[in-house]
Every structure is written in C-alpha cells, then in structure tokens.
Structure 1
Amino acid sequence: MKNRKKIMSVLAVGCMAASTLMSGNFVFAEGEKEVDGKLVIWEHTAQFENPLKEVIAGFQKLYPNVEIEYQIKTSDQYYNLLQTAMQAGETPDLFWTNGTATTNLQTYAKQGLLMDLTDKVDFSMYDGTQAMDICTIDDKVWATPTGEVGGRACFYNKDIFDELGISVPETFKEFEDSLPVIAEAGYIPIAFSGSDPWASLFQFEPLLAAMHLDWLNEYQEKGDVAVNDKRVVEVYDKMIQWADKGYYGTGYTGVDESGALLAFSKGEAAMCIEGTWNLQTIQENNPDLNFGAFQIPCEDGTKPFVGTNSCGFSVSANTENEAAAIAFANYFASLDGQKIWLNALQAIPCTKEIVSENPIINEMADFDVQTESYYSILGYLEGDGESPRNVWEEDQCKIFTGGISVQDFVDELEDLTR
C-alpha cells in the first residue's frame, strides 16, 4: 500500500512500562503489565512522518510487544479517506484531526466514533496552557493535544543590532525607538511584504498583542469583541505610519513574502516579523546569518505570543486493542513523547518543561502569555453569510495601497460577524 509503513519491535520483553491510574493521574509504571497487539495510526501529511516515527520508536522501548503500522495520507484527501474507512468499519486505531479548528472532531464525537480520553490519558503537562482547547468539547477530551504552538515572532539580525548599539527591546517604546536609528544607518528596519495578506497578518497580530493586549483579553473573557474597535484601527494606522516613514523600505507593497524573507536573510533588513515556521527558510537562505528572535513586548514589559495549538491523535471507539491504543495516547501526550515530537519538528513548545535543541526556538518561546489570533477570532465570530476571513484576505493589502481606508476595511469585517 502506498505510503504504508510498518514498524515492529522484535525486542524481548524487558523493562515494561504501562499507564496506570493513580490518584487521578496517569503515570508510567515499571513492570505493571504486558501490553501487546497491533495498532494502525493515520497522519495527514508527510511533514509529520519523521516526528511520528521517532515517537513510535520511543514508545516501543517501553512497549516492545506492540506492533505499529502507520500510514501517511495527503492533506487534500485525508478526511475523505478517513470517512471512507469509518463507513467501512476500518477506522484506524489512532488518527489525526484538526481538533476543534474544524467541525470534523465534533462530528465524529457525536457519531460515537471516538473514545472519550478525559479520564484515560494524563494531560497534566498542559496545565496552565491553552493546549487542551483544541481537543476538548463540552468538557470531554476527544484527542490528545501536542506540546507544539505555532505563531509569530520578530527575527532580528544580531550583527546589525550590535553595530548600532541596539538591545532586544524590553518595552514597545524601545522597539519603536529603534526603527529610526536603523533607518538612518541605511538598513531597512523591518522587511515586510505589503502584497501578501498572510505576511501582513503575521506582522499585524504581534503588534496588536503588544499595543492592545487588553483587546485580546476582552475576547478571552467575554467570547465576543468588536473587530472594528478603535484599538484595532490604531494598530493598522501604526503600520501605515511606519510605511510612510520608510521603515519597510521602498516598494514594499510590491514585495512578496519570499522577497521580504530574502532581504532579511541577506542582511539588508534588521528585522522581519513573521511566522515562526520561517526559521528554517531563513537558515536555508543564509546558513551564516547571525540572527535571533524575540516577542515584541507591551509597554509594561509583558511579552505576548500570538500562537495556535495543534491536535494530536484521537482513539477510535471501536479499536480492537484498547490497552495499546490508550498506552500510545498516554505516551504521545507525555513529556517524553512531546520532547521527541517537538525536537523532530523544530517547533515551539507551549510549556517551559520542554527546551528545544535550537536556541532560536527557545528565544521565540520566551513569552509571558499566549494570545489568540485576530484571524481566528474573525472565524469564531463569523455570521451566517460570507466569511469575514474571506473578505479579510481579499482586502487586507488594500489598506497599504490606499485602495480602502483602515476604518472601512474593519467595518466591512465587523458587518460580517454575528
């Protein structure tokens, strides 16, 4: 079968580990009992194949008698293939979903296709984080989360900062005050793609968090907020002011995201506010670049991080090997399992219990509070008609070319919310 891989441990039974319930918490207990049998696991894209292989290898050191077959699907066909398997009564023992980011998880839970993991898996590692939100519906946990959080960060050229005597900012004023200093030295302060709505979002969201964390907190507290609030307008206006002062360089409205990343990689720009996943792109563009990353601080010194969590695996309610499936879910959700997963992915951890082997990832992970994405909020609040996220994507960059005013732009988004 295409993309079908099988990993089977042939080690003799040695030091076994199992998940046992003790005082409401699951722990790995030596010699508790033998778990054997076969599991089938589905992943949705090849990006996660190596991390999954490494987690399986770690799991099988504890459970050498469990045979695991994993299958890597393509993201565009994944849910169709999963639905077909479910209808045929061939649901994999464990399988990935988007969690609560889409309606699939909720649908499967309502159809009785998922095992309730609430009291079967130890999720204590995620206490104090937002990781559980993506796999929890009505106080029941239908999948494991991951310890990964993807988001935004400000990459900076350490050599340029040293040359100009600039330190990593501790307040928003310090950040903004550095921009004219950089410009006067002949560098582009911030490499920016004004032609790409996503690149624009990846700069707008950290600035919104730094300038008006209170707006984001308001949404977290009430579950509702005006997306055309004056605080949102102020952030967009700030970006336009910086553009008018030349802080994005000349012709930034015609620069695409790759061009902005290349300008930073070549040392033409001192900073680039982008998605954290672009770390590898920058390193590939220029392996010799001396750069780091930080989160843009609020004026009071708080370092917010705009991030989104990711879902791990659900367990089929009809699995024929429940003990092994629950054992794998526990291992995947554990500190050991997520250390392996995140280091293989080169991803930012949502908890300080996990330290990356990449120092720049640890710099990106140096934040005080994780905040919601503006784009996600648009989705949460969308009404019954056209999605505000579609309009956002179509009109976002027009505010930089003068095609639409900031106020008109956010007003049209607000009109499409519930």
Structure 2
Amino acid sequence: MKSRKVTIGAAATAAAALVLVGCGGSDGESSATGSGGDVLRVWHYENPTSAMGVAWEEAMAVFEEETGATVEFEERSFEQIRTTASQVLNSDQAPDVLEYNKGNATAGLLASQGLLMPLDDAVAEYGWDEQLAPALQTTARYDERGIMGSGSWYGVPTYGEFVQVYYNVDMFEEAGVEVPTTLEEFEAVLATFTEQGVTPMAQAAGEYPTGQLWYQLALTKADRDWVDAYQLYTDEVDWQGEEITYATETVKEWVDAGYISTDATGLTAEDAGTGFINGTYPIFFSGSWWQGRFTDEITDYEWSAFLFPGAEMSPGSAGNMWVIPERSQNAELAQEFIDITMRPEIQALMGNSGGVPVDADPADITDERSAELIENFNTLNDRDGIAFYPDWPTPTFYDELNAALQELINSSLEPGAVQDQLQQQYEAGVADITG
C-alpha cells in the first residue's frame, strides 16, 4: 500500500495539531502525488487491529488500486479530532474525509457552523440511504440548528453498535435456567440466581451500564413516537408516564430484590465488565463494543448473548461517521472512498473481524460469534429497533442520569423524586438546545 501514516501523540494541543497538519510529510510538502496525480487525506481514530481499522485499511488499498490516487492517512486520537475539529476544518489544512462522532453536540454542531459538506447528492448517487436502516440514518442528518433526525445528510456511518444481554452459559446451566424469551422469564432467571446466593447482574451506576438498563426498561413500554419525543424533541416527554415510571420503579425493585448490588453506586463500566469476565456475575447488559474483549479474555467458560426480552427496541445507534469537510480539496475522491467502505466485501471483512457492519450479507460472515452479533443487530434494524442512548438529549444528561440512579440505588431518593429531578434537568438542557 502506498499510503503514508502520520501518528500524533495524544497530548498534542490544538495548535500543535495545526502545525503538524500544515507540515504534511517530512519533505515539508503538504501532500504527495500518486500515480493518478491526486491525494486523498484521511483521518480516523480506530486502532489498526480493530474491526474498523482492518476494514478501512483494506478500503484504502482498494481505493488506491482503483483510482491511481494516493491515500495520505493520518492516525488521530478521538480526543485530538474532537478538540481540534472546528479549528482545523475551518482552515486549508482540513483533511478530505475523516471519522467524526455523531450527535447534536458534535457532527451537528459542525454542520450548523458550515464546516461539513452536505452529502445529499452523493447519497442519491451512491444509494447509501438504501443501505442504511431508518434509525441509522437519524444520526447522519441534521437540520440548520444541528439537531439530528432531519435535514441534509452530513455523514455516512459504516458500522453500528447496540446493547444486548451477555450471559455466562456455564452458570446458566449450573443454575438450571434457560435463555428467557419474555421479561417475566428474565425476572425469573434473576430470582433463581439470587435464591442461590448469586448476584445476577453486573452493574455500575458510576458510568453507563445502569443508565442503559433504565432506558431499556422504559423501552419495554415505549414505541417509536416516544423515542422520537425523548431523543428528537418532537413532542413533550411525560416524565410521570408509564415508560419512565416503570423503568425507575423496576430498577429500585431489582435492587431491593438483590438482582443488582447496592455496591453498583461506586462501580465503573470497567468494574462491571471485568466482573462478568472473571465469572462473578452471570449477566451483563451492555454494548456490542465489549464483544471483542470478551472473545479475547474469556477463556475458562462459555458465554453468549441475546436481545433484551420483552422489548422491540434496544439502546444503540449507527457508529461514528465519515464526514467530508466543506474545505476538502478532493471531495469527489472522498465520496468514492466512502462508497468503497460500504461495499459488501469491506462490510464482510469488518464483520468477520468482530465489528457490526451496517450492511453486511449474513452469508458472508463466517465467524460464529460475529454472525450471532450481527444477527442480533440485523434483527433490531429489521423491526426499527435502534433507539439511541438515554444520555443523548442534552450535553449534561449523562452525568445527571448517573447521579440520579446512584441516589435511587442507595435509597437517597425515591423513584418519584428521581423522575422529578431528571425531568427538570432534561427540560432545562433541551431548552438550551432548542431555544
């Protein structure tokens, strides 16, 4: 492969990043020329051995072979791109295409500032809208305020993510329980483990797992209209309604019943995940991003996963996106590159490497664990079941939700008071965004 790779340390400042980008290669030129006379400058922050890193490396090789252009790839950390984006993309040093985080406060903000190129014509030309399920398109489109869900296309996600129930197969067999297919059966499984002296759920309220569980419980009573109201501000959210009331009260009931330890208030997602890895807990409700780690680190028992029973929807979204800066010097080549990353063979490579491609043919996935993961993701997509994440509506709601659930778990606040507190915080944050 002809591409050059420039690695920038995680401690680099925004100003330093601009200097490095401006310098380009070691000869002081800002770009090199390939056999086709063109250079495509690509930034992303995926580990080279990750599913996305592997797939996109192959896509770069295919791009170079087919176009004769040279890929100039610069590896940036997530934090580097996040902190320097507005500054760099508003300069002549902007890359031609880069991976960027989806959401109102990230891609939406850049779109509203005029820093990202609208991709509506490219979407129509390449048919990317036909490859992406409706819910996956939500985070690719932004209105003039930068609010996701409508307006022009500003990005193209090539992978997805979602939350599911990981379980210890050996512990299930020893306890004499089977994979539940209804919420009632799931609670019966939790009760069986508790009766046998085992805390069934690996949880952490210091970070995301418990918030995602709370949201998943709300989704057992919700429909797409409720999700759109909560996430996209299409209507007022009833914080004393069935969805949120059931979620909040059920979390409290599960703590009181011993299904969730009160120690969760002081635990992180890493604590919960390693608790599942070392066999302390038989169940871990969390994201597909744990799949690769479980595959690598769990060696002394069998494990598998299933979608949360009793719900048509689950937390999840499209992954971060390819975006093209407004000041890209090779926008058409950037579109060609994005299209290559959406091809069946590249999507299959991502899937067989442990990722969740947005448009892979299940027949092309040969790895058994990857096939199971992708099947669950496709099931959610087929029933329009991707419902985003509970903290997305406002920039501060992640911390506010975690803090409220900590108080719920340690009995500092009753469920009704938790809902009142969250309502005030949610509505204040949404008002700041929508005006």
What TM-score bracket applies, with the shorter chain setting the length?
0.7 to 0.9
Which residue is 2:146 aligned to?
Answer: none
Amino acid in structure 2 at the alignment position of 1:375: P
How has the CA–CA distance of structure 1 residues 352 and 172 changed in structure 2, closer, same or farther, with 3 Å as cutoff? farther
How has the CA–CA distance of structure 1 residues 336 and 177 changed in structure 2, closer, same or farther, with 3 Å as cutoff? same
| 3-state DSSP of counterpart to 1:92 | coil
Alignment of 1:88-107 (within 5 A): 88-107=91-110
Amino acid in structure 2 at the alignment position of 1:57: A
Which range moves more in the overlay, 85-94 or 253-262? 253-262
**Is the 1:55–1:341 Cα contact (8 Å) retained in structure 2?**
no
Deviations 1:78-135 (A, max 9, x none): 2454444344422211122224442544544653652534334321443433222222
Which residue is 2:126 aligned to?
Answer: 121
**Is the 1:43–1:96 Cα contact (8 Å) retained in structure 2?**
yes
How has the CA–CA distance of structure 1 residues 41 and 403 changed in structure 2, closer, same or farther, with 3 Å as cutoff? same
| 3-state DSSP of counterpart to 1:42 | strand
What is the percent sequence identity of the aligned residues?
A: 16
TM value normalised by structure 1: 0.78
Amino acid in structure 2 at the alignment position of 1:126: Q
User: Following the alignment from structure 1 to structure 2, what is the Cα–Cα distance between the partners of residues 348 and 372?
Assistant: 16
User: Following the alignment from structure 2 to structure 1, what is the Cα–Cα distance between the partners of residues 392 and 400?
Assistant: 14
Which range moves more in the overlay, 43-52 or 283-292? 43-52
User: Following the alignment from structure 1 to structure 2, what is the Cα–Cα distance between the partners of residues 250 and 391?
Assistant: 19
User: Following the alignment from structure 1 to structure 2, what is the Cα–Cα distance between the partners of residues 256 and 96?
Assistant: 27
Amino acid in structure 2 at the alignment position of 1:370: G
Deviations 1:170-221 (A, max 9, x none): 211111122222223343322223x424221132222222x3133x542327
| 3-state DSSP of counterpart to 1:305 | coil
| 3-state DSSP of counterpart to 2:134 | coil
The count of corresponding residues between Structure 1 and Structure 2 is 380
How has the CA–CA distance of structure 1 residues 51 and 8 changed in structure 2, closer, same or farther, with 3 Å as cutoff? farther
How has the CA–CA distance of structure 1 residues 176 and 108 changed in structure 2, closer, same or farther, with 3 Å as cutoff? closer
Alignment of 1:335-350 (within 5 A): 335-344=344-353, 346-350=354-358
How has the CA–CA distance of structure 1 residues 313 and 362 changed in structure 2, closer, same or farther, with 3 Å as cutoff? closer
Structure 1 position 276, deviation (Å): 2.3
User: Following the alignment from structure 1 to structure 2, what is the Cα–Cα distance between the partners of residues 94 and 51?
Assistant: 16
Unpaired runs of 5+ in structure 1? 13-34
Give the RMSD, CA atoms, in angstroms: 3.4
Alignment of 1:268-307 (within 5 A): 268-298=280-310, 303-307=312-316
Structure 1 residue 213 corresponds to structure 2 residue 228: no
How has the CA–CA distance of structure 1 residues 267 and 321 changed in structure 2, closer, same or farther, with 3 Å as cutoff? closer
Match of 1:131 among 118, 133, 136: 136
User: Following the alignment from structure 1 to structure 2, what is the Cα–Cα distance between the partners of residues 390 and 95?
Assistant: 28
User: Following the alignment from structure 1 to structure 2, what is the Cα–Cα distance between the partners of residues 249 and 316?
Assistant: 47
Deviations 1:283-319 (A, max 9, x none): 4442232010111121xxx542210212322224444
Which residue is 1:75 aligned to?
Answer: 78
TM value normalised by structure 2: 0.75
| 3-state DSSP of counterpart to 1:90 | coil
Alignment of 1:255-270 (within 5 A): 255-270=267-282
Which residue is 1:191 aligned to?
Answer: 202
Q: Which has the higher strand share?
A: 1
